[in-house]
Amino acid sequence: MSLTPDPRELRARAWADLRMGVPVVLHSEGRAVLALAGETLKPARLSVVAGMAEAVLAITARRAETLRAVPYDGDIARIALPGNADAHWVRAVADPADDLRMPMKGPFRVLRDGDAVLHRLALTLCKEARLLPAAVVAPVVPGFGPAEGLTVLDAADLRVPMVMDEVVSARVPLSVSEAGRLHVFRPEDGSEEHYAVEIGTPPRDQPVLARLHSACFTGDLLGSLKCDCGPQLRGALAQMGAEGAGVLLYLNQEGRGIGLANKMRAYALQDQGFDTVEANHRLGFEDDERDFRIGAELLRRLGFSATRLMTNNPAKVAMMENCGIAVTERVPLKVGETPQNAGYLATKAAKSGHLL
C-alpha cells in the first residue's frame, strides 16, 4: 500500500482544511480551482483570492432564491466577487442571520458561462464539513497546490463508496433492558462514528424491530421541547426492551445532516418566524441532508436484511428498501408532542410527508 493518502482520505482532510479556513484545490478534466469556505474565510486569504480573475462566491440555488439571485447553473449560483468584496460581504451573502435587518445585498452579477462542476463540488465539501454552503472559488493553473502545502482533490476520484468498520462492541446494561450492547462503527475516512444499540439478541433471519435515530443534542440530551427526538429515542428503546429485542441505530447526523451550528442558525431563523423547512432553505440547505444509506449499511453489517421500522417518515422506509433492506412493517412512533413542537410536527407532516 502506498503511503500517500487515497482520495477518500484526501476528502476528509479537505473538510478539516475548510473548517480551519485553509483553501483546497479541486481538479476536473484538466481544470483546477482554489476553494475556500465562506464561513471560515480569513480576510488576508480573501484579499489574495479576490485579486484572481473570475473569482466567485458559489452558493446553492436555495440560498440564491432568498437573495433573488438567478441560479443559472440550476442547483447553484456563481456570484462574481465585487471589487470591494470583503469577508463581511461574503459572510452576509452566506449567512441569512441578518437577512431581515438588511434585506437586499445585491445587485448580484451571476455568471452564466463556463462550467460549474468544481463550484458544485466545493459546496458539497462545505456541507460535508458541516459549514454553511458557500465557497469562494477562483481558477488556478493545474499543478498549483502541492508546493503551497494545499490538499488537492480530483473530482473523478471522489465517487468512492463509504466504507465503515466496526471498531468495538461491549455490553451496556440499560434501564430498558439489561441485555444492551453498544456497537461503534467508524468510517474508514476517520469521519464521525455511528452507533448501534442492540437490545437482546434479535434473530438475524427475522425482521428486526429497528429505529434509525438521527442525533439531536438539544432533544436527546437537553430535553428540548422544540422537537420530539428525546421522547422518540427513549420510546423506541422502551419498546425494544419490552419486546426483548431490537436495534437502535444512532446516526451522527445532527440537525438532519447540517450539524449543530447550522441547526442553531435554523433555530434562530425559526424565532424570526420561518418554519423548519424554510429555515433550512434560507441557509442554503435542502429540507433533509441526511444519508440514510449509513443506517442500511449498519443493519447489514449486523447481519439483518429485514426490519420492522419505527418511524413516521415514509422517506426512511423508501430509503431502506432502496438500499436492499426489506421493511416488513412501519411501526409508528408518536410520542413527545408539546405545545412548543406542535408547529414543527405539523410542518413535517405538511411539507416533508411525515405521517401524523
Ligand X SMILES: Nc1nc2c(ncn2[C@@H]2O[C@H](COP(=O)(O)OP(=O)(O)OP(=O)(O)O)[C@@H](O)[C@H]2O)c(=O)[nH]1
Rule CB under 6 A: is residue 347 a binding residue for ligand X? no
Instruction: Find the catalytic residue in 78, 181, 282, 290.
Output: 290
Angle at CA of residue 166, ends 131 and 197, nearest 5°: 85
Query: Does 214 count as an annotated binding residue?
Result: yes
**Which range, of 13-21, 94-102, 151-159, 251-259, touches ligand X by CB under 6 A?**
251-259
Rule CB under 6 A: is residue 64 a binding residue for ligand X? no
- The whole-angstrom separation of Cα 38 and Cα 40 is 6
Query: Does 213 count as an annotated binding residue?
Result: yes
- The whole-angstrom separation of Cα 52 and Cα 64 is 23
Q: Give the closest residue to 134 by CA, choosing from 74, 192, 62, 73.
A: 62
Query: Does 276 count as an annotated binding residue?
Result: yes
Q: Which is nearer to Zn ion, 145 or 219 (CB)?
A: 219
Residues in contact with Zn ion by the rule CB under 5 A? 216, 219, 227, 229
Rule CB under 6 A: is residue 256 a binding residue for ligand X? yes
Which residue from 40, 177, 239, 312 is in contact with ligand X, where contact means CB under 6 A? 312
Q: Which is nearer to ligand X, 23 or 133 (CB)?
A: 133
Rule CB under 6 A: is residue 284 a binding residue for ligand X? no
Q: Is 308 annotated in the active site?
A: no
In this structure, the dihedral spanned by the alpha carbons of residues 18, 88, 45 and 56, taken in order and rounded to 10 degrees, is 80
- The whole-angstrom separation of Cα 73 and Cα 111 is 8
Q: What are phi and psi of 133, to 5 degrees?
A: -80, 80
CB 129 within 8 A of CB 15: yes
Judged by CB under 6 A, the number of residues near ligand X is 21
Cell numbers 428540548 label which residue? 224
* CB 256, min distance to ligand X, A: 4
Q: What helix, strand, coil percent values describe the chain, rounded to 5? A: 40, 20, 40
Which residue from 60, 177, 232, 307 is in contact with ligand X, where contact means CB under 6 A? 232
Instruction: Find the catalytic residue in 17, 220, 287, 288.
Output: 288
Q: Is 288 annotated in the active site?
A: yes
Residue stretches of the annotated binding site for Zn(2+): 216, 227, 229
